[in-house]
A = this chain, B = another copy of it.
Amino acid sequence: MQIVCSIAAMQRLAKKWRRAGTRIGFVPTMGYLHAGHLSLVKSARKAVGNNGKVVVSIYVNPTQFAPTEDLANYPRDLQRDLKLCREAGVDAVFTPKDAEMYAGRAAANYSTYVVEENLSFPMEGITRPTHFRGVTTVVAKLFNLVLPDVSIFGQKDFQQTAVIKRMVADLNFPLKIIIAPTLRETDGLAMSSRNKYLVGDLRHQATVLWSSIQTAQAIVKKMKSVSAAKLKADLKKFIESEPDARLDYIEFFEPDTLSPVSKVSSGAQMALAVSIGKTRLIDNAQL
């Protein structure tokens, strides 16, 4: 497995593969890998075949964090990540440095951003108004450096997958996006690097996200169609019955457009963000 630290070396390697007609599958991550990430690696391998190359990027992208967020604390363990990638049959791990990616981020040195101005506005976009601008920018950069034929994203970040698919279509990136299903712990908690923050009783309280999704699924199955406002209010009460849980948002919407629905029925997408203590968690599912 190759470990590539410089952006010039990554692009050179990708161009070499391209010239040889080798297919490239790409999994962008912020590291601290878990089984969810490794399932994306498996999807990438399946997409490019044994003669293709699978690249994983490990980069905690500063532009998608607001100054108040957990950039400095975000969990990191590169040695463990490299071991997991090696075991998963990854061909190259790309670990760029901030200094190269954003040249210090002073506008005099770095000043280009990719913005998506529709799907990025609701939900995460309200609580984290600069988040998706950072995501679309870094993903565009990584696409240009890794030159993938296919790139895999996890369904756990549902709104992110919608924004990325829109960016790829709008800017005509010459690649295919695959969305891979969310992996869950045995009690239903969606796998996330941030679960590491959940110590003591908080870990159990965090299962309230999945429980509320299951509750909504059961209600929709039974009632066929139910008022979104009423369902939100009921689930908010349910969620906040956990002592350290505070609801950020819960939304019901069309999965393709993210347009809110006022009546929730089968096929609607549900997404929610809940803080468990200081840890903000998100989850989603189709009802």
Using a CB–CB cutoff of 8 Å, the interface residues on chain A facing chain B are: 7, 11, 14-15, 18-19, 21, 107-108, 110-119, 136-137, 140-141, 144-145, 147, 166-167, 170-174, 257
| Residue of A14, A108, A110, A174 contacting most chain B CB atoms (<10 Å) | A174
A136→B108 CA distance, assembly (Å): 18
B115–A113 touching, CB < 8 Å? yes
B140–A171 touching, CB < 8 Å? yes
Contacts of A19 in B (CB 8 A): 21
A116–B111 touching, CB < 8 Å? yes
> Known contacts A144-B171, A145-B172, A174-B15; is A111 also within 8 Å of B117 by CB?
yes
> Known contacts A19-B21, A166-B111; is A144 also within 8 Å of B173 by CB?
yes
Contacts of A11 in B (CB 8 A): 172, 174
A113→B136 CA distance, assembly (Å): 10
- Which among B108, B119, B170 is the interface contact of A257 at CB below 8 angstroms? B108
B172–A144 touching, CB < 8 Å? yes
Which residue of B is nearest A149, CB measured?
B15
Q: A-B pairs with the 4 shortest C-beta distances? A: A112-B170, A111-B118, A144-B172, A107-B118
A112→B133 CA distance, assembly (Å): 10
Contacts of A113 in B (CB 8 A): 114-115, 117
Contacts of A140 in B (CB 8 A): 114, 171
Q: What is the CB-to-nearest-CB distance from A270 to chain B, in angstroms, rounded to a whole number?
A: 21
A108–B114 touching, CB < 8 Å? no
